[in-house]
């Protein structure tokens, strides 16, 4: 097997000359599509080659993901993946690796805004070391009073430190420009509740994609799953993933004592708690509870924290069997 040239896997710019390289017979590229056991890999020239993974990956409990940098051999029309490079980060739902930013597409209506679901995704992204960007959709369906309330929600998350975009009711072009600016030179994944408008938003960003959109069921307040494969798509100078929608998130895969680490507003004040290791529940002298009383921490965020705490305490341990080369 020829010597493999090492490459950098973390980047904030889609610079193919830097990301991809060749060895004698081995090529290095990034997986941009995964479907039915096949992996489409893009190399520095922009050429896309179809491959399969070696059986050894299955035996060792590894599985290539979209976003992975891999070494592969290619003959005729089909290649074989030999190595998966170490990952900077990875998500389970959607299954994708080496992400610079995750755009959480969050509907304000149809389906109704669910702060618990948004907070759940923010916590999961923080645990996975992925930077979030909150993008609110369907503001055009809001009444004036509802839009005022949405602005209050926006400010709540901005205050915490999250990058957040709320489109105006009448003019969305400026908001698309702002989103494009945030994504420039990055690898991004779009995620969120089914029916929140991920495919619609991507179609606005790049109309030539022609992604299928679904109709939300009013009875279930859930959308049809319109995206059936994980794919990285070139949009302007960013790589964007459109992925299968989902209505719930994976269980949290970390100890309950770490939960507060993923609430930035808790981290900002917890050094003032009376007791080291305070869980911010019933302990006296809790600075987080005091901030909640003073209105510095939103009640909805604290409610999410308590709900996630109970969830983690009640869930059974999970044992990883694959995708461990992070």
Which pLDDT belongs to residue 316? 73
Query: Is the CB of residue 69 less than 8 Å from the CB of residue 82?
Result: no
Domain at 256-314, CATH class: mainly alpha
Let me know if 28 is exposed, middle or buried by CB neighbors in 10 A (0-12, 13-18, 19+): buried
Q: What is the pLDDT of residues 217-241, one digit of tens each?
A: 343 344 444 444 678 888 888 998 7
**Distance (Å, whole) CA 90 – CA 64:** 11
What homologous superfamily does CATH list for 16-84? Nucleic acid-binding proteins (2.40.50.140)
Average pLDDT, integer, range 112-119 = 92
Architecture of the CATH domain 90-242: 3-Layer(aba) Sandwich (3.40)
Query: Is the CB of residue 238 less than 8 Å from the CB of residue 183?
Result: yes
4 has a pLDDT exceeding 80: no
202 vs 297, residue with greater confidence: 297
Q: How many helices (H) and strands (E) does the chain have?
A: 9, 15
Neighbours of 203 (CB within 10 A): 17
Question: Is the overall model pTM greater than 0.75, yes or no?
Answer: yes
3-state DSSP: the chain helix, strand, coil percent, rounded to 5? 30, 25, 45
Which pLDDT belongs to residue 259? 97
Hey, where are the domains in the chain? 16-84, 90-242, 256-314
Note whether 90-242 and 256-314 share their fold: no
In this predicted structure, which of 109-123, 221-235, 278-292 has the lowest mean pLDDT? 221-235
Sign of the dihedral through C-alpha 79, 41, 211, 88: positive
């Amino acid at each position: 097997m020829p010597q493999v040239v090492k490459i950098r896997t973390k980047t904030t710019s889609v610079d193919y000359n830097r990301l991809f390289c060749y060895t004698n017979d081995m090529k290095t590229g990034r997986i941009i599509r995964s479907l039915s056991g096949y992996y489409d890999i893009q190399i520095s020239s922009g050429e896309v080659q179809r491959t399969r993974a070696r059986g050894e990956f299955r035996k060792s409990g590894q599985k290539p993901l979209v976003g992975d940098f891999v070494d592969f051999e290619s003959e005729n029309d089909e290649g074989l993946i030999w190595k998966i490079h170490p990952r900077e980060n990875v998500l389970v739902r959607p299954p994708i690796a080496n992400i610079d930013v995750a755009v959480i597409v969050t509907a304000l209506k149809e389906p109704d805004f669910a702060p618990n679901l948004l907070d759940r995704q923010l916590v999961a992204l923080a645990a996975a070391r992925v930077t979030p960007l909150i993008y609110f959709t369907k503001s055009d369906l809001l009444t004036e009073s509802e839009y005022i309330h949405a602005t209050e929600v926006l400010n709540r998350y901005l205050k915490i430190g999250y990058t957040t975009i709320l489109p105006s009711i009448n003019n969305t072009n400026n908001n698309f420009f702002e989103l494009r600016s945030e994504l420039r030179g990055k690898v991004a994944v779009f995620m969120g509740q089914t029916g929140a408008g991920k495919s619609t938003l991507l179609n606005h960003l790049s109309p030539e994609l022609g992604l299928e959109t679904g109709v939300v069921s009013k009875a279930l307040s859930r959308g049809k799953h319109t995206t059936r494969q994980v794919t990285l798509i070139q949009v302007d100078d960013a790589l964007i993933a459109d992925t299968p929608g989902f209505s719930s998130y994976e269980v949290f895969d970390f100890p309950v004592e770490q939960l507060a680490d993923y609430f930035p507003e808790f981290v900002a004040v917890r050094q003032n708690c009376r007791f080291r290791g305070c869980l911010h529940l019933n302990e006296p002298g809790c600075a987080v509870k005091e901030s909640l009383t003073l209105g510095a921490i939103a009640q909805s965020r604290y409610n999410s924290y308590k709900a996630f705490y109970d969830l983690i305490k009640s869930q059974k341990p999970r044992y990883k069997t694959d995708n461990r080369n992070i």
